[in-house]
Structure 1
């Protein structure tokens, strides 16, 4: 690939930022907004990047962005596949190719996520990367935007911990084998994806439990069912998890709910109000 065209990359990023409104990404506009589109701080938050880095990209002063950073920016700015590919080429990187795990969330799916204000909802890739989330999911699981894009993976969080702050996931739960099976299924579909191979290698090296389940050789998939989320401040919450498939992009939407009148339902109602704020005791 050619080198980075920093001036054109900066222009494309600024233009894309101006096209996206706060309402498009579930952010409040505020009464004194003078910026057309998103602020740089909001792009940085949505992409999980430092504000200074976003500023330097838009000024043409940043070092070459990684493919993970480019993918995160494409999702934050809601770029189409063609615009995403242009972004990659201007940054001197090859666009995502066939045979790689799809990470671009379709705008129609993001619109659905925006409407799910009463239920925590996540969009996962075939290898369980968290690609998009709504505010209630962030309140339940933690601020995904504070975690580097390469670490926003629920299976990595379960077996290694990845800095997603509000939930502890047990590697010994009944669903752990299904999680490992999901990665084996993904490996069969995307045998040449280097990020997937790296994730599996990290998990096998860092977790004896994962390695043991991996060597069992079983495939699996995301399943609807009841799960217990161990919230750091509200304790264990027993929730129903529904899995909706987006077959065109090999992604899943996870939606969490609780039976009315239960402690978990009350906890979700509290999280709707408090969001990411910590509780005072």
Structure 2
């Protein structure tokens, strides 16, 4: 469980190291002018100085310095709130700061790696809308037929690699399902950060992030930025080698199993709805790009029909 007891079990050195890096990154993005202070001419690094943060937050310079250095000091919610306001943290970043500081939050049992049959039934009934269930690490736990056609690289992957982050960051950019990877990929990494904050020190999470950092220099660079993001709404621009651009919005709904969610993708215009409809009529769609070879995969709807015909022939 990730609860009060779990917070205490996380190695303090690991937690303090993450806290130090996060505070430094947030301090560096705020200029003196942002908070009404003179810019000065002898600043060696961007952003506010530690003593300026302490002054604005109403805390001691030594105390804040020790906090940012990751020293073993106690921080109250009230003091962290003052630091959060000074560093202009949003809701997601503030929650992340609390987690790193070791202040207990709502109990969250570990998520499972499977979903109940009833949930799969809901996914199937959502067709033609693409929909899937993810856990906090972006593992794809379940999906419907339209999702499989829209994101075949994930749905057809081996179970160990059935992860959105892994699929996006370890494949060539030309095979990426996003029209604008420079917009989507930072958002994805920033959305992973607060989840990681709830699992600092857990071997599965540490290994997951380390594996991605080793496999992708781009992920490693984005991870080092310490950005935090939760729940922003915007139009995703997807591309498919068979039907071209598809524009969708994403509705995310929490499930009863903690840290799992169902994402439903809704086309935002008639052209995108028509593209999804065309995709669903192709028996063997393609995935990939010409440079890396077209790989055909079986349309789930046609596969089900073939199975039914085969069963009828045998009977």
Q: How much does 1:135 deviate?
A: 0.4
Q: Per the alignment, do residues 278 and 216 of structure 1 end up closer, same or farther by CA in structure 2, a change over 3 Å counting?
A: closer
Q: Per the alignment, do residues 204 and 145 of structure 1 end up closer, same or farther by CA in structure 2, a change over 3 Å counting?
A: closer
Q: How does 1:207-218 map to 2 (within 5 A)?
A: 207-218=216-227
Give the alignment partner of residue 271 of structure 1, picking from 276, 279, 283.
279
Q: How much does 1:107 deviate?
A: 3.3
Tell me what 1:252 maps to.
261
Give the distance between the partners of 1:104 and 1:226, measured in 2 at CA.
29
Tell me what 2:144 maps to.
134
Give the distance between the partners of 1:197 and 1:150, measured in 2 at CA.
16
- What is the count of residue pairs matched by the alignment? 180
Q: How much does 1:108 deviate?
A: 3.1
Deviations 1:209-253 (A, max 9, x none): 222221111222354421011212222222222222225321121
Give the distance between the partners of 2:237 and 2:180, measured in 1 at CA.
13
Q: How much does 1:102 deviate?
A: 2.9
Question: Is 1:148 paired with 2:158?
Answer: yes
Which blocks of at least 5 consecutive residues in structure 2 are unaligned?
1-107, 288-315
Q: Tell me the SS of whatever aligns to 2:220.
A: helix
In terms of Rg, which structure is larger? 2
Question: Is 1:233 paired with 2:242?
Answer: yes
- Asked if 1 retains the 8 angstrom alpha-carbon contact of 2:246 and 2:276, the reply is no
Give the distance between the partners of 1:210 and 1:111, measured in 2 at CA.
34
Give the distance between the partners of 2:239 and 2:183, measured in 1 at CA.
15
Q: Tell me the SS of whatever aligns to 1:168.
A: coil
Deviations 1:38-66 (A, max 9, x none): xxxxxxxxxxxxxxxxxxxxxxxxxxxxx
Which blocks of at least 5 consecutive residues in structure 1 are unaligned?
1-97
Tell me what 1:115 maps to.
125
- Asked if 1 retains the 8 angstrom alpha-carbon contact of 2:243 and 2:279, the reply is no
Give the alignment partner of residue 251 of structure 2, picking from 214, 236, 242.
242
Question: Is 1:221 paired with 2:230?
Answer: yes
Give the distance between the partners of 1:234 and 1:277, measured in 2 at CA.
10
> Structure 1 length as normaliser, TM-score?
0.56
Q: Tell me the SS of whatever aligns to 1:173.
A: helix
Give the distance between the partners of 1:232 and 1:211, measured in 2 at CA.
28
CA RMSD across the alignment: 3.0
Q: Tell me the SS of whatever aligns to 1:175.
A: helix
Higher helix share: 2
Q: How does 1:1-80 map to 2 (within 5 A)?
A: none
Q: Tell me the SS of whatever aligns to 2:250.
A: strand
